[in-house]
């Protein structure tokens, strides 16, 4: 992997650690959630520094380069997170709409 | 036939007063659904409302579709036979209501769509958007409505039951057409006049792209 790209990825990971701690301090995340995020980003930093750790995975999935495996993994992760957030937002929107409409009819 | 007029309202303090002034001449029940307005719209309504005006209030802004649904639900739960939807920005002329009433009294159709003369006074972007939407709806749901984005429309109780929409925003207009096409509900169009007061309000290009995506969803889900 190109060293510059590794530096950018590490800086990004540290930023995300900072946001996780900040969210915890603002009481938007609880202790368990913050620890989970810290673990995820710490693991990401380890993998970024030592990409060869993923070599066996890359071989198993018939991916030639470790970098490609990380890109594919990243895509899968992002798409699944977007889908999950979309569904949750939709569910909350529906609940809010039902509540507000019910209140409007009840108050009449 | 008991017909109510439903007006979804959101931040239209400037235009709701003349509209209500015009509507005072009618004996029909008028249901105004204030969809979380943050300006003085509700004060204007309270000042101008007549005895036959009902005001429902959404504490937060949910969107046009949700406000229309609240108004129609209230009307039909209270024994009304049909509803006519009008926009709150005084775009629609109350004189055109008689065409809707006549079409509803005919009892031939369950849904009546207002159709603006798109060759006169309509901003070019909206004209093209409308025509594009008509063609898309014809291709996807085999229904041709000449002015699919016009908010002036009427539903009988039966028509509403079969087309009750999920969209809470501006997608409501297109979704109802999709449901009319899919459920093969009888519909007609009546010509209406429209005055464009405000070119920055209403459906934006971003809304239009969002609605286009929803069309595919309705094709798969309705």
Cα–Cα distances (Å) from B32 to B11, B39, B112, in that order, read 13, 15, 20
Q: What is the pLDDT of residues B178-220, one digit of tens each?
A: 999 999 999 999 999 877 766 555 556 666 677 778 888 888 8
ipTM of the complex: 0.72
Q: Check residue A107 and give its pLDDT.
A: 73
Per-residue pLDDT for B14 more than 90?
Answer: no
A106 touches chain B (CB under 8 A): no
Could you say which residues of chain A have pLDDT below 50?
none
Name the residue facing B56 among A93, A97, A104 (closest C-beta).
Answer: A104
Chain A to chain B Cβ contacts (< 8 Å): 34
Cβ of B59 within 8 Å of Cβ of A103? The answer is: yes
Q: Check residue B123 and give its pLDDT.
A: 73
Domain that holds residue B137: 3-221
Specify the number of domains making up chain B.
Answer: 1
Q: Check residue B205 and give its pLDDT.
A: 62
Distance from C-alpha of B130 to C-alpha of B124, rounded to nearest angstrom? 10
Distance from C-alpha of B17 to C-alpha of A104, rounded to nearest angstrom? 22
Nearest-neighbour CA in chain A from B144: distance (Å): 30
The residue-averaged pLDDT of B56-61 equals: 94
Structure tokens at B122: 């309509």
Nearest of B135, B217, B130 to residue B179 by alpha carbon:
B217
Entry pTM: 0.78
Residues 6+ positions from B123 with CB-CB distance below 8 Å: B196, B199
Considering only CB atoms, which residues of chain B are within 8 Å of chain A?
Answer: 33, 54, 56-60, 62, 66, 69-70, 73-74, 77, 168
% of chain B at pLDDT higher than 90: 58
Q: What is the pLDDT of residues A41-66, one digit of tens each?
A: 999 999 989 888 888 888 888 888 88
Q: DSSP E strands: which ranges in chain B? A: 3-9, 29-35, 53-58, 82-85, 111-116, 153-156, 187-192
The residue-averaged pLDDT of B51-78 equals: 94
Q: What is the pLDDT of residues B155-187, one digit of tens each?
A: 999 999 999 999 888 889 999 999 999 999 999
Q: Check residue A95 and give its pLDDT.
A: 93
Q: Check residue A4 and give its pLDDT.
A: 85
Question: Tokens 């490609």 belong to which residue?
Answer: A68
Distance from C-alpha of B69 to C-alpha of B74, rounded to nearest angstrom? 8
Q: What is the pLDDT of residues B40-57, one digit of tens each?
A: 999 999 988 888 899 999
Question: How many residues are present in chain B?
Answer: 222
Q: Check residue B86 and give its pLDDT.
A: 95
CATH of residue B179: 3.90.550.10
Distance from C-alpha of A74 to C-alpha of A31, rounded to nearest angstrom? 25
């Amino acid at each position: 992997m190109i060293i510059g790209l590794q530096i950018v990825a590490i800086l990004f990971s540290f930023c995300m650690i900072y946001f996780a701690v900040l969210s915890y301090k603002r009481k938007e995340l609880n202790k368990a959630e913050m620890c989970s995020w810290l673990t995820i980003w710490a693991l990401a930093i380890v993998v970024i520094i030592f990409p060869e750790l993923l070599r066996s995975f890359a071989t198993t999935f018939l991916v030639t380069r470790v970098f490609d495996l990380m890109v594919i993994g990243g895509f899968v992760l992002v798409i699944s997170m977007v889908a999950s957030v979309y569904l949750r937002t939709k569910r909350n929107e529906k609940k809010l709409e039902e509540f507000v409409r019910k209140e409007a009819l009840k108050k009449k | 036939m008991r017909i109510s007029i439903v007006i979804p309202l959101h931040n239209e303090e400037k235009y709701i007063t003349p509209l209500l002034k015009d509507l005072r001449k009618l004996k029909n029940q008028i249901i105004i659904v204030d969809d979380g307005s943050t300006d003085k719209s509700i004060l204007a309504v309270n000042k101008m409302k007549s005895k036959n005006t009902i005001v429902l209030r959404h504490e937060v802004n949910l969107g046009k579709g949700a406000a229309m649904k609240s108004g129609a639900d209230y009307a039909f739960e209270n024994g009304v036979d049909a509803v006519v939807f009008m926009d709150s920005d005084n775009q629609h002329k109350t004189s055109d209501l008689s065409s809707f009433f006549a079409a509803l009294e005919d009892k031939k159709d369950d849904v009546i769509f207002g159709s603006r003369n798109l060759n006169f006074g309509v901003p070019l972007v909206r004209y093209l958007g409308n025509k594009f939407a008509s063609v898309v709806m014809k291709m996807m749901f085999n229904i041709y409505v000449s002015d699919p984005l016009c908010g002036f429309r009427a539903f009988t109780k039966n028509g509403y039951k079969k087309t009750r929409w999920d969209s809470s925003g501006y997608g409501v207009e297109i979704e109802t057409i999709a449901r009319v096409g899919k459920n093969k509900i009888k519909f007609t169009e009546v010509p209406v006049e429209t005055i464009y007061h405000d070119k920055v309000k209403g459906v934006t290009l971003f809304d239009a792209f969002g609605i286009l995506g929803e069309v595919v969803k309705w094709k798969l889900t309705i």
